[in-house]
Amino acid sequence: MIEINKNFNKLEKNYLFAQISKRTQEYKTKNPKANIIKLGIGDVTLPICDVVLKAMHKAVDEMGSEKTFRGYGPYEGYEFLRQAISSSYVKYGIDIGANEIYVSDGAKSDTANIIEIFDITGNVLIPNPTYPVYVDSNILAGNNICYIEASESNNFLPLPNNEVKADLIYLCSPNNPTGAVYSKEQLKIWVDYALRNKAIILFDAAYEPFIEDESLPHSIFEIEGAKECAVESCSFSKGAGFTGIRCGYITIPNELKLNGIKAGDMWLRRQSMKFNGVSYITQRGAEAALSEEGRRQILKNINYYKENARILSEALKSKGIWHIGGKNSPYIWMKCPSKMKSWDFFDSLLETLNIVGTPGAGFGNSGEGYFRFSSFGNHEDVLEAASRFKKFNF
Ligand code: PLP
């Protein structure tokens, strides 16, 4: 008799953002006049930039002509986009060929699906707190998760414990939810650990476009030895605003081999079986996002969000509230005042200031007592939120 995958029962029942939305809606129903400011969900709000739109319009027109129409594309993505991505690595001194890049519909599916190509018998190391997809996908697969604790004492940038062995390691930098960013020296410690353990690092660089400090690494492949032990997941979502368009890619270096087989070949085999590629129109848009003009226009949007983060950070600083992030990341991670628990602070903030954020406990138990703000809103809302913070007695 067929039964449900029992690992489903091990998943958290309530999706974090559904719970936030439910509590916010309940409050709104009771207080219909409340002007609620949402600084919770990490979705972008600014529209797609001009140069990307033009490229996509052109691609739509190509689809309407017999000569330029395209059907199924290559599973790994069109050569023009993979070449553009390969070139985008050059400015960080990294040599990644187009044949090491696999285009996808985004980093969520890639970070969840990549485990299918590995035979994981040992530990999967996942930071706590974390982007929940890493945890849920490994729970569903029945893998053994071992948390790496992030805390104020390690600036929310945990390093390996040499006593603990691992098969797979998830690192996300700039981090969701904490906004913390690993230095090159710290990543080198992780790479050396992975090489020693014959483990693989899955490096999630979805927020890489927000890095502004020159010393910080944009890619794990800036680190010596990483090509033998890491794959990197990137996304057009947060920088280019593709959350609704859907495009990302995973970089699997040719040097990365398991049992003598290239990991990239296994990934392509998996993708060609389960995935029919990203639309031509989307890939032309992504290509335009990587052009010089595309980067210039996208940077304007990123700077808009960063100004929001600066305003929020200033307001928290003026109240003496401990927080990190916001500079090389769209997220601010703050400590709840008076040792409050995350969800208690959520309710208090909603009721007293009509502001919605994300309880840190929703990203893992090490997030308890912390709270995340997203800077993806509009200036007016953020200015209003900051002025409410300043008047509030934390
Ligand atoms: N990785 C991290 C750390 C994220 O925070 C998110 C989205 O919030 C994603 C991946 C998903 O990105 P995408 O829209 O490319 O699927």
Distance (angstroms) between ligand 1 centre and the Cα of 386 equals: 26
Whole-angstrom Cα distance, residue 212 to residue 334? 21
Cα-Cα-Cα-Cα dihedral sign, residues 239, 243, 246, 248: positive
Nearest CA to ligand 1 atom 5: 176
Q: What is the pLDDT of residues 337-371, one digit of tens each?
A: 999 999 999 999 999 999 999 999 999 999 999 99
pLDDT at 41: 82
Q: Which atom of ligand 1 is nearest to the CA of 109?
A: 16
Sequence-distant (≥ 6) Cβ neighbours of residue 275 within 8 angstroms: 75, 104, 105
pLDDT at 45: 94
**Mean pLDDT, residues 51-78 taken together:** 98
Q: What is the pLDDT of residues 226-276, one digit of tens each?
A: 999 999 999 999 999 999 999 999 999 999 999 999 999 999 999 999 999
User: Radius of gyration of the chain from Cα atoms?
Assistant: 21
Task: Answer yes or no: is the C-beta of 234 below 6 A from any ligand 1 atom.
Answer: no
Q: What is the pLDDT of residues 304-331, one digit of tens each?
A: 999 999 999 999 999 999 999 999 999 9
252 in helix, strand or coil? coil
DSSP track, 120-166: --SEEEEEES--HHHHHHHHHTT-EEEEEE--GGGTT-----TTS--
Mean pLDDT of the chain: 96
Distance (angstroms) between ligand 1 centre and the Cα of 112 equals: 11
Per-residue pLDDT at 188 exceeds 90: yes
Residue 123 one-letter amino acid: N
Question: What is the percent of the chain where pLDDT is above 70?
Answer: 100
Q: What is the pLDDT of residues 84-97, one digit of tens each?
A: 999 999 999 999 99
Whole-angstrom Cα distance, residue 46 to residue 376? 8
Distance (angstroms) between ligand 1 centre and the Cα of 284 equals: 21
Q: What is the pLDDT of residues 99-129, one digit of tens each?
A: 999 999 999 999 999 999 999 999 999 999 9
Ramachandran category for residue 360: left, alpha or beta (phi over 0 → left; psi -120 to 50 → alpha) = alpha
H or E element in which residue 308 lies? helix 292-318
**Mean pLDDT, residues 380-389 taken together:** 95
pLDDT band at 12 (very low <50, low <70, confident <90, very high): confident
Per-residue pLDDT at 295 exceeds 80: yes
**Mean pLDDT, residues 32-58 taken together:** 95
Placement of tokens 């693989």 in the chain: 200
Distance (angstroms) between ligand 1 centre and the Cα of 239 equals: 11
Task: Answer yes or no: is the C-beta of 45 below 6 A from any ligand 1 atom.
Answer: no
The encoded tokens of residue 102 equal 């696999």
Strand-pair partners of 355: 37
Q: What is the pLDDT of residues 204-235, one digit of tens each?
A: 999 999 999 999 999 999 999 999 999 999 99
12 in helix, strand or coil? coil
Mutate to test the pocket of ligand 1, among 171, 232, 237 (most ligand atoms within 8 A of CB): 237
Whole-angstrom Cα distance, residue 275 to residue 369? 40
pLDDT at 394: 73
pLDDT band at 3 (very low <50, low <70, confident <90, very high): very high
Per-residue pLDDT at 156 exceeds 90: yes
pLDDT band at 392 (very low <50, low <70, confident <90, very high): confident
Nearest CA to ligand 1 atom 3: 176
Distance (angstroms) between ligand 1 centre and the Cα of 206 equals: 6
**Residue 367: CB atoms within 10 Å:** 23
pLDDT at 393: 78
Q: Which atom of ligand 1 is nearest to the CA of 43?
A: 8
